[in-house]
A and B are shown apart, each in its own frame.
Chain A
Amino acid sequence: MRFAMGSSIDQRATYLQLQKAANQKLQDLYAKDLHFELDKINEPILWVKNMPNLFAVICYLQTDEIFKINYLSDLTAYDNIDHIDGDKRFVLVYQLLSLETKVSVRLKLLIDDSEDAKTISHIFPAANWLEREVFDMYGIVFRGHPDLRRIMMDERFIGHPQRKEYDIKQRMPFADNMKTNLDRNPVP
């Protein structure tokens, strides 16, 4: 869909209309069997049931005329340790966007400590590093990921620091950050 060159206010209004239509469509399609809600700025949140369900929804949103999702804005997770959002441990968050129609959709998925997630890096290559980050910080394993290593923390680090039970001040002593090795060269 192409837009005539108008003022940016007009364009913004058009995008808001499109987002509204998208919200309505999402509600009609999925509100029967999935939990659907709108956040404070009227962006849709869809709680998908499981991994296959997530793939189905993403594939549909990519091909649909209204959504035309083609961009992964963010992939993250949060620790649902107090079970406010459900009875599983973590919540995976997929923030999707269409660069063409500026429609954005947020998919959320409850996932337990013992479960494995599946990678979406074959659909959105940008998910590669984001999944590595989620793995590093929360310990959620993405099956099928091409290279699931730590991305932020040291490779020798043990534990997953964004889990609520990880103490924020728990630093890991390695040979090269201890005062005892201050003037040794090379550092053992």
Chain B
Amino acid sequence: MSKDGSNTMIFSTLLSEAVKWGRKNSLWPMPFATSCCGIEVMSTLSSTYDLSRFGAEVVRFSPRQADMLIVAGTITTKMAPVLRTIYDQMLEPKWVIAMGACSSSGGIFDTYSVLQGIDYIMPVDVYVSGCPPIPEGLIYSVLYLQKIIDEGLERTPALKPTYEEAMKAMTYHKTPEGLILPSIKTGISLGNGTNEEASKEVPNEVRNG
């Protein structure tokens, strides 16, 4: 339609194209900023870089209302179930951006407490490299995500490694008992996770699945 309404025009198009257009230009982000990369997210959203130019301006702090999860920061193994819950709460269609070295691969924190990449717990669409990535990097990833949506590129499949592969990725040094280092001093019961429970539960889980 023209602006003055005088000569009416009709566009004939596919509904799927219209839906695609709508989706790619209204990627509402849910920032999950746990450490230093979060500062870059704030910078990207602020007026200097202005992510809203690309339709991704309405930051939602409720996963139910968001389309795109930006994971910016170190994810510890204790935080992993929380992040997974947030991912599960988001409604389809949903996309995930792993921002920075930490959320992509664990980064410099190759230690006992840090998850080595959020792709252990959720499928990831775009990885942004850098420690931290510059705001242009995040903008590029959003643009790339728009390209993924627009061209219908295949999304990262959920990898299903074998039990051995998973164990190799999780532990560098195996103990004779398998995977669990026996508690050195069990003076006190630690919640619901006892030694036998942990060493029994995990392998069965994997073999069944």
Which A residues contact B (CB, under 8 angstroms)? 113, 116, 135, 139, 141, 148-150, 152-161, 163, 165-188
Contacts and interface: CB of A to CB of B under 8 A. Distances in A.
Contacts of A169: 110-112, 171-173
A175 B180 CA distance: 14
A180 B206 CA distance: 7
Contact of A149 (B121, B167, B181, B191): B191
Interface string B164-196: 001101111100000111111101101111010
Looking at chain A's contact residues, is the secondary structure mostly helix, strand, loop, or mixed? loop
Interface stretch (B5-13, B44-52, B80-88, B145-153): B80-88
A171 B77 contact: yes
B170 A173 contact: yes
Looking at chain B's contact residues, is the secondary structure mostly helix, strand, loop, or mixed? loop
A169 B116 CA distance: 11
Given A157-B193, A158-B183, A170-B112, A175 B202 contact: yes
B121 A170 contact: no
B93 interface: no
A51 B123 CA distance: 52
Contacts of A159: 181-184
B160 interface: yes
B84 A176 contact: yes
A173 B80 contact: no
Given A178-B170, A183-B158, 6 more contacts: A141-B188, A150-B191, A158-B193, A172-B180, A179-B159, A185-B88
A188 B206 CA distance: 10
B93 to A, nearest CB: 15
Given A158-B182, A158-B193, A170-B173, A179 B112 contact: no
Interface in B103-129: 110-116, 119-123
Contacts of A181: 205, 209
A187 B158 CA distance: 14
